[in-house]
Amino acid sequence: MVEFSLLFGPDSGDQTRQFIREGLELFSEVSSFGAHEPFIDYLELSHNVSQFMETLVFPCRTLVQLYGVLISVARYHPKADEEIIAQMLRGFGRAGLFSEDSVELLQARLLLLEFYSYSMKIEAAWTLLFNIVCSAYGLGCHVVRPGKHCLHRLDIIWRTTAYYDCLIGSTIGRPNAISCTRVPARYILCELVEIFQDTNLAFQEFGKNETLYQDHILRLDSYITRVLDREEKDPTILYRNYRLLLLSNQIKLHYAFVRTHRFSQFQINNVLSRFFEELVEFIDSASKSAPRPFIKFRESFPFVSCYSFQTLAIVLACIKKNMHVLEPKVLEGLREFNERLKPYANFLATDHCLNETLDVVIDLIKSDGDLHPPTLPIESDLSYIRDDPFFYQMYYNHQQ
C-alpha cells in the first residue's frame, strides 16, 4: 500500500480527493473522444479508487493506474498546473518502484507515453516505449489467444503498443521496437501500422540502396493510395485520425525524391491538396464533438498535430528551395486552407508550432518565396522533427 501525495499542501486532503474525482470524470469523457482505443477499464478503476478514497492509501497497482490517468488528463484539467503535474510524475515514479510488471502498470505507462508525446519529450517517450514493449512481451500480450481475442484486454494493450511504436518511430526516424505484429481488430489500423513500419525500414536504407525508390517507395505509395481510396460511410473521429496520419506519411515518403523523380513531384501535389481538405474536415468534426469547451486540438490528437506540423514543414522546405515543385493549385489551396481554419482558432489555440509554421508558409507564398523566415519551431531543440534524420538530410541540405 502506498499513499497518494497531497497535491495542494499539507492539509489538502479534501482538495486532492476533489481533484481525483474531477480527473476520473474527465478521463471518462475524453477517453472515448481522442484516444486510440480504450485499453484501460474506467469502471473497474473508479470502483477500486473509491474503496480507498477516504484514506488516500492505495494498493500499488491501483495507484499507478490512477497516477497514469491523472497525468494523461492533466493536459485538459483546468487545475493541473506544472507543479501539480511534477508532483504526480514523482508519485508515479515512487509507486512504480513498488510494482512488479503487471497489466495495470503497463496501462499506466501507456498513458504516461501519451503525456510525453504530447509534451514533446521525445527522448523520454522513446526510452519509455522500449520499457513498455519489453513488459508487454513479458506479460504475453503478443500471444494469439483463441476465440474473440480482439476484445481481450491484453490484445487491446498490444495493439495500442504497436500503434504508438510505429508513430513514435516514424516521428523521429528511428527503427521500430516491435517486430512481432498481429492483425488488429480495426482493419485500417492494421494497415497503418504495417505502412508506417515499412516506411521506417525504407528510410533506414535512404542513401544506401540504389533501388529504394522502385522497390519500396512506389510500392508503399500504391498501398497507401488503395487504403485511402476506400470509402467509409459515416467516418468516425478515429477513422479520420488514421487517414490524416496516412496522408502525412505519404507526403513525407515523396519529399525525399521530389528533385529526382517526376512522379514524386506529381504525387506530392495531389496528396497535399487532399491533406489540406481532410485536415479541415477533421478539425471541424472534432471541434463539434469535443466533450468540454476547454478541450483543444493538440491535447486531444497530439500525433495528428505532430504530423500536420511536419507536413507544413515539408511545404515550407519546398517553397524555400523547390518552388517549382508545388503547383499553383496547391499554393492556392494552402491559402484557402488557412482561411478555412480561422473559424476554429479557439480549438487550435494551444497548437503554437502548427500555427506559427502555417503563418510563415502563408507569408512566404505571399512574398513569392523572397521573405527570409524567422527561426521556426522545427529548428528548435523542442521540435518533434529535430531528431528525424530524414528531415535533417532533406530540409537542411536543401538550404545549402
Segment 212-244, tens digit of pLDDT: 888 889 999 999 999 999 888 888 888 899 999
**Residue 5 placed within a domain:** no
**Residue 234 placed within a domain:** yes
> Residue 109's pLDDT band (boundaries 50, 70, 90)?
very high
Q: Which residues contact 363 (CB under 8 A, 6 or more apart)?
A: 371, 373
All three cell numbers of 42, joined, read: 474506467
**Residue 343 placed within a domain:** yes
Q: Are 129 and 177 a contacting pair, CB within 8 Å?
A: yes
**Residue 93 placed within a domain:** no
Q: What is the rounded distance in angstroms from the CA atom of residue 378 to the CA atom of residue 204?
A: 21
Q: Are 33 and 287 a contacting pair, CB within 8 Å?
A: no
Residue 264 sits at φ, ψ, to 5 deg, of: -65, -35
**Residue 318 placed within a domain:** yes
Give the total number of structural domains in the chain.
1
**Residue 269 placed within a domain:** yes
**Residue 27 placed within a domain:** no
Give the other-Cβ count within 10 Å of 138's Cβ. 11
- Triad 159, 220, 120: Cα angle to 5°: 50
Full residue range of the structural domain in which residue 361 is found: 193-400
**Residue 129 placed within a domain:** no
Of the two residues 386 and 109, the one the predictor is more confident about is 109
Q: What is the rounded distance in angstroms from the CA atom of residue 7 to the CA atom of residue 160?
A: 30
50-108: per-residue pLDDT in tens?
999 999 999 888 999 999 999 999 988 888 889 999 999 999 988 877 677 888 999 99
Three-class SS state of 270: helix
Asked whether residue 296 carries a pLDDT value surpassing 50, the answer given is yes
Question: Sign of torsion, CA 67 70 73 77?
Answer: negative
